[in-house]
Structure 1
């Protein structure tokens, strides 16, 4: 297999299960500090001993027993809450009706292998993957009651994120949550390769690892912000995009910079090399996004390039890289979560890096040791 090939991650079958675990937690002063990344640095086989040393120095603590954790964090004015536990990945779905976890983009097998190797050597999941779903009102009420109690941890980290964490230890409460979440259908918001690494670890040692760390966010309660990831078509010119648009029958119109940016919309892309500006009208429906039209229709029709495609999370960043000799920027609109859900339910994936779910929690708030529950 071509090591650069992108493949669809396997689908996990329901029931959806988040199991309790005994969390490792970095000291508040270490969370959000870039220097803390050295705890998970090479050699990965030395990470367990390194964390033992951090624990001896008071830089890391271990919870008293297994729990599910309700983690609330605030960053950039956005508050997100999610239930954190060990995602059961032991069952593979053979039909659409069985699916509990929905990836929305493909993965590189070699990268998933490398992550699985790294986790096995470190003997831990450093951070949860992010899952989003439309939660049940009764589950929101149950978690509201959890929040009425005193948090296990409450602090502001070095990056400015505010955190509150509650431990759900009551077996009866865990059982009610398990029953309410069993029918969950969750979209992977962040962590496709880590999800695939969880699956590989489970296949390598069935029953010994039990899954991987995940945070389940109710998009109807504290939604993650879904932003666009813009494209830089390296080696392609604005006129190449115009020619491709004409070839596939799309409307391409040169405009002033301000008028072009103002026109950005679900069915309108903005194309520029920094000096020439234009809009590209694309046919979109609730089941097909502009980013799909760009990758499936426009890019294959380009008469020149692209030599590669660059991905940028902000318009300012992609525009700073655009130029007549460096490449053409394409500003794309942010997709809607429900549109992404409809696409994955229809057994399709989006192009690579089509979504940017934000904000993500700082690493170190909740860590899972593979062989400690």
Structure 2
């Protein structure tokens, strides 16, 4: 996103005392990190992370227990115990944190801080997806009970591209990018490589002058929520509950300049519980073109991409084969897709999938007991085959479509996109009542 309107403050990022793992108290930093809570494939991924180290952050972001309230109390007790035992400790002074990820041909660098939460009409932070009320309620109760921001949201903005050359003339330069570049040449606060092969480095910026440079470079800018819509809705809910300008009026975020570090956009897939592929295919054949593909997953995904360039298209999996579903009936779309939205929204694969195919044809309600959302393509296929269910694989939405809809104030169907790489959870936390 570019600039907000004249006179708007834009993004207000402030330093905080980060809470981090004490390396001597854990097996390794990589053993205690986790993907964001909604990317962990449960239960296999949960058990894998829990067994990596008894202090893995997943015990806080996805605590286990018989009820939501008991789970959240368990997370709060665990967090308090780790702080008392010195497994986690707060940094000595407030800082902004430069965070870098490298891997799979990607370099991403951004800044972590606490963001002043704007009002609903400020247009400073733009969501692009709807949220599920039950997930927001769960995240809000966990955050309320632990009084901690356990993982940063991923927000993107578009900088100016130019960087101060250090000669003292920052006219037209992107001051935030200049500081990030300078800081990244120093010895990092921590460095670790996670099992996905990504290397993570973190630096603290405690110099008030550099903090001011970073903040000044963000003034007047507008951000897009790339990852963390439910946590953003949680921030706003808890801010409204507590009121005032206290700690709940700020939220932990990672800001990345996509003019310098373009993010990758991937699809989030659907798992339709209890619906065999055979039944799904039979129902959809009356309204779409359905073809069974002979090839393995990579070739099937190539066919999906080619079909998606011409019409709405999906891959159905779960019976050991792949079924390409495309060219939905125009009459069906006219009857089921809302007409009061922009054409770009009406043509989204997620819009057509939920409005026409799932709601009207397959009669699958959008509720957790009927649909799961899975980021990994192979994981979605494996789960469908193991459960006798149907995986619906989608093709990614272009980033420019996401940004333009967000600029218009139009939200996409929930779980329409997956921006990445996502920040590793567990590198830095924020307690709202630091001791």
TM-score (norm 2): 0.70
Instruction: Name the counterpart of 1:60.
Output: 88
Task: Quote how far apart the aligned CAs of 1:155 are.
Answer: 3.6
More helix by share: 2
The answer on 1:241 being equivalent to 2:284 is yes
Matches within 5 A, 1:45-84: 45-47=76-78, 49-55=80-86, 59-84=87-112
Secondary structure of 2:259's aligned partner: coil
Cα distance in 2 for residues equivalent to 1:64 and 1:366:
14
Secondary structure of 1:115's aligned partner: helix
Structure 1 pair 330/144, CA: closer, same or farther in 2 (3 Å)? same
Cα distance in 2 for residues equivalent to 1:84 and 1:276:
41
Deviates more, 1:310-319 or 1:362-371: 310-319
Cα distance in 1 for residues equivalent to 2:363 and 2:144:
40
Instruction: Name the counterpart of 1:194.
Output: 231
Cα distance in 2 for residues equivalent to 1:364 and 1:276:
37
Instruction: Name the counterpart of 1:23.
Output: 18
Instruction: Name the counterpart of 1:340.
Output: 402
Instruction: Name the counterpart of 1:231.
Output: 270
Deviates more, 1:205-214 or 1:140-149: 140-149
Q: Contact between 2:114 and 2:250, CA under 8 Å: does it hold in 1? A: yes
Q: 2:314 aligns with which of 269, 282, 286?
A: 269
Matches within 5 A, 1:124-143: 124-137=148-161, 138=174, 139-143=176-180
Task: Quote how far apart the aligned CAs of 1:31 are.
Answer: 4.4
The number of aligned residues is 346
Q: 1:100 aligns with which of 117, 124, 128?
A: 124
Structure 1 pair 276/151, CA: closer, same or farther in 2 (3 Å)? closer
Cα distance in 2 for residues equivalent to 1:52 and 1:271:
47
Structure 1 pair 160/25, CA: closer, same or farther in 2 (3 Å)? farther
User: For 1:171-203, what per-residue CA distance to the aligned partner results, in whole angstroms no more than 9, with x for missing partners?
Assistant: 222223222212222222222222122112222
Secondary structure of 1:140's aligned partner: helix
Q: Contact between 1:131 and 1:216, CA under 8 Å: does it hold in 2? A: yes
Cα distance in 2 for residues equivalent to 1:224 and 1:16:
20
Structure 1 unaligned blocks of 5 or more: 1-12, 246-251
User: For 1:276-318, what per-residue CA distance to the aligned partner results, in whole angstroms no more than 9, with x for missing partners?
Assistant: 733403699765422222222333331x433633433333333
Secondary structure of 1:61's aligned partner: strand
Instruction: Name the counterpart of 1:32.
Output: 31
Q: CA RMSD in A?
A: 3.0
Task: Quote how far apart the aligned CAs of 1:75 are.
Answer: 4.7
Instruction: Name the counterpart of 2:204.
Output: 167
Structure 1 pair 257/100, CA: closer, same or farther in 2 (3 Å)? farther
Cα distance in 1 for residues equivalent to 2:186 and 2:314:
48
User: For 1:60-109, what per-residue CA distance to the aligned partner results, in whole angstroms no more than 9, with x for missing partners?
Assistant: 332221111101123555332221000111x3133xxx311122222233
User: For 1:143-166, what per-residue CA distance to the aligned partner results, in whole angstroms no more than 9, with x for missing partners?
Assistant: 212222332333445775422222
Task: Quote how far apart the aligned CAs of 1:224 are.
Answer: 3.2
Structure 2 unaligned blocks of 5 or more: 1-7, 33-48, 64-72, 162-173, 331-341
Instruction: Name the counterpart of 2:216.
Output: 179
Cα distance in 1 for residues equivalent to 2:294 and 2:343:
27
